[in-house]
Amino acid sequence: MIDFNKMIDNHLKKEHRPKGSGKYYPSEIGNCLRKVWYTYKYPLELKPELIKIFELGNIMHDFVVQVLKSEKNKDVELLKSEFPVKAEIDDFLISGRVDNLILIKASGRNVLVEVKSTMDISRIWEAQPHNIVQLQLYMHMIGVHNGILLYIDKKNLQSKIFEIKYDEQKAMEIIERFRLLHRSIKEDAIPDPEARGDKKTLWMCRYCEYREKCYAETAQDAKWM
C-alpha cells in the first residue's frame, strides 16, 4: 500500500537554503529581534510538522483569493494577489510579498489585505502587533494607505478583520528596526532577548527554537524574564 504521509513529506520537501545577510523580510521583522538574528547566524532546517502547518497556511491563502475573486462577491474586486515588494535601504534590501490588493467598489478605495491563518479564531480579539508591523511596512512601501488584517480559522473558516490605520512614524520606526538588525548581523553583535522583556511578548519564547541558546546567553533576571 502507499504511505500517504510519506508522500506529503516528499511533496513538501524543499532544499534547505540558509538566508544571506543583507536581505530581510517584512514577515519577520515584528518578531523578537534576537530570534531573527539567530535565524541568520544559526539557521535550522524546518521540521516536517512545521512545514505542514505552513502549507496549511498557503492553502488558506489560496482559499481567500478564491473568495475575493468570486463573482458572487460583487462589492469587492481583487486587483492583485501574491505580488512582490522590494526596497533598497542603505546597503541592504527589504523584500516581501503582499497577499492581496482589493478595490472596495462603493468607496473606490484600494485596500491591502494581509491574511493570517489561525488554529483558534476565538483567541483573536485584536490585530497582533507583529502582524501590524508587516502591514504598516507594506502600506508604506506600496503607497496604499488602507490596510486590513484578515484572520481565518483553519478548522472552520470563521474569520475576523481589523482595519489598520497607516502611520508614517511607525513605518519609519520599522525601517529603523531593519537597520538595527542589519548592523547587529554585520557586527556579529547579539541583540537583547526582546521578547523576554515584556509579559505581552513572552509567548513568543514558547515557540522559539532558540530558547535554550537564548537563556544560556542571557540568564533570567529582573529585566529579562
The verdict on 196 binding ligand SF4 (CB under 6 A) reads yes
Judged by CB under 6 A, the residue of 13, 90, 210, 220 near ligand SF4 is 210
If DSSP codes are grouped into helix, strand and coil, which group holds residue 34?
helix
Is 195 near ligand SF4 (CB under 6 A)?
Answer: yes
CB closer to ligand SF4, 63 vs 224: 224
- Residue 100 neighbours by CB distance under 10 Å: 23
Of 30-38, 51-59, 123-131, 164-172, the window that binds ligand SF4 (rule: CB under 6 A) is: 30-38
Among 24, 26, 28, 34, contact with ligand SF4 (rule: CB under 6 A): 34
- When asked if residue 204 is in the footprint of ligand SF4 (CB under 6 A), the reply is yes
Question: How many residues belong to the site for ligand SF4 (CB under 6 A)?
Answer: 14
Instruction: Look at the alpha carbons of 181, 35, 189, 197 in this order and tell me if their dihedral is positive or negative.
Output: positive
Name which of 61, 55, 51, 104 is nearest 81 in CA terms: 61
Distance CA 19, CA 17 (A): 6
For the CB of residue 224, give the shortest distance to ligand SF4 in the complex, in Å: 8
Three-state secondary structure call for residue 1: coil
Binding part of the chain for ligand SF4, among 7-15, 29-37, 74-82, 120-128 by CB under 6 A, reads 29-37
Cell of 50: 512545521
Cα 196–chain centre separation: 20
Minimum Å gap between C-beta 94 and ligand SF4 is 21
d(Cα 49, Cα 172) in Å, to the nearest integer? 36
Interface residues with ligand SF4 (CB under 6 A)?
Answer: 32, 34-35, 38, 193-196, 204-205, 208, 210-211, 214
